[in-house]
Amino acid sequence: MRAMRSRKPDARQVKDLLYEQVARIGKASSSPKRLELIELLCQGEKTVDTLAREAAISMKLASAHLRELRSANLVATERRGKNVLYRLAGGEVAGFWVAIRSLAEDRLVELRMALAQITDAPRELTPTDRDALIRRARRGEVVVLDVRPAAEYAAAHLPYAQSMPMEELKARLSELPRDRAIVAYCRGPYCLMARDAVALLRQRGFHAEHLAEGVAEWGMAPVR
């Protein structure tokens, strides 16, 4: 007796399946807090308690959000001793965050209005030309200051940047030159640490500028 051939799915079923799988990424990233967790993980691997504290949510809620992100293979985990560390599943996830955020800023006027509220000078949120900044930093004409936590700097930082976490900045002002421009950056356009650092530096007489981009944005278009 001839073996029965398995019936192949028709084209419509295949297309439905494809879109359904792609939609898993949208579903997993549809929460504002999950997007914030992705941005935080762009800075380097972190424990759930660190993520919960920095995202201002409970550990229980952070764990639930991370499970959703992990189910879509957007984040991965690794156990080290007693700690479970979370990290992005790949550089493409950081690219996804930068791309979806940039699209939202381009299409949503409400987002642009909200973004303008975090600075007194919106022009300062304009990305600096990467190549020009690198040339100036290489020649020692400008100081690139990373004001994120030291662990994030150790994980990844901009070329020629020096680490000076925001909580240490006031006590370490004597380490900074007053005859050169200082460009401060943190986690990206939605991070306020660099804005606050620039405000403090200017109050103390330094020539300071705010670089809106962070390591995730920088990685999308490497300097030549």
- Which pLDDT value is given to residue 129? 79
Catalytic residue among 186, 194, 197, 211: 186
Is there a catalytic annotation at residue 42? Answer: no
Q: Which amino acid is at 197?
A: A
- Which pLDDT value is given to residue 125? 42
To the question of pTM greater than 0.75 for the whole model, the response is yes
Burial (CB < 10 A; 0-12, 13-18, 19+), residue 213, is: buried
Q: By three-state DSSP, how is residue 154 classified?
A: helix
- Which pLDDT value is given to residue 8? 74
- Radius of gyration for the chain, computed over Cα atoms and rounded to the nearest angstrom: 21
Q: Which residues of the chain have pLDDT under 70?
A: 1-6, 119-128, 221-224
pLDDT digits (tens, 9 = 90+) for 83-128: 999 999 999 999 999 999 999 999 999 999 988 877 655 445 444 5
